[in-house]
Amino acid sequence: MSARAIHTVEYAVIAAALAGLAWLRGGELGAAFWILLVAPDIGLVVAPLLGRMPGRGAIPARAVPIYNVAHTYTVPLLIWMALLFTDITPWPLLGWLIHITADRALGFGLRGPDGGQALI
């Protein structure tokens, strides 16, 4: 099995596990879960405002930092950890984590400086 296939299967399993956890926590998710599930791709709607779309699935170079911040695990996990010290439930952040993981399972990762898929 190729490394790419292994990564795809791993991310699909993690996405399914996170979705199962979200289902179990259903009453604690609220509208924020659904908003965070789609919000990372709002940047793709805004991207054309930041420059000409280069085509071939790439985004303008000026949009790359916004896209990458919205599609890295670091931000939602840091917010999750901060929420542990408050009375605010962190469970809606599962939507964001599911989005990132599903993107990875579908082959979409972070963007490189040119706006295309970054190869790691």
pLDDT average per 10 residues of sequence, the chain (120 residues): 90 96 92 95 78 81 90 97 96 97 92 84
* DSSP-assigned letter for residue 71: T
Please state the pTM of the whole predicted model. 0.89
- For residues 105 and 22, give the distance between their C-alpha atoms in angstroms, rounded to a whole number: 18
Write out the two tokens for 38.
């789609």
Neighbours of 19 (CB within 10 A): 16
Write out the two tokens for 76.
């939602």
The reported pLDDT for the residue numbered 120 is 60
> Maximum Cα–Cα distance for the chain, whole Å?
45
The reported pLDDT for the residue numbered 75 is 97
Please say whether the beta carbons of 6 and 104 come within 8 A.
no
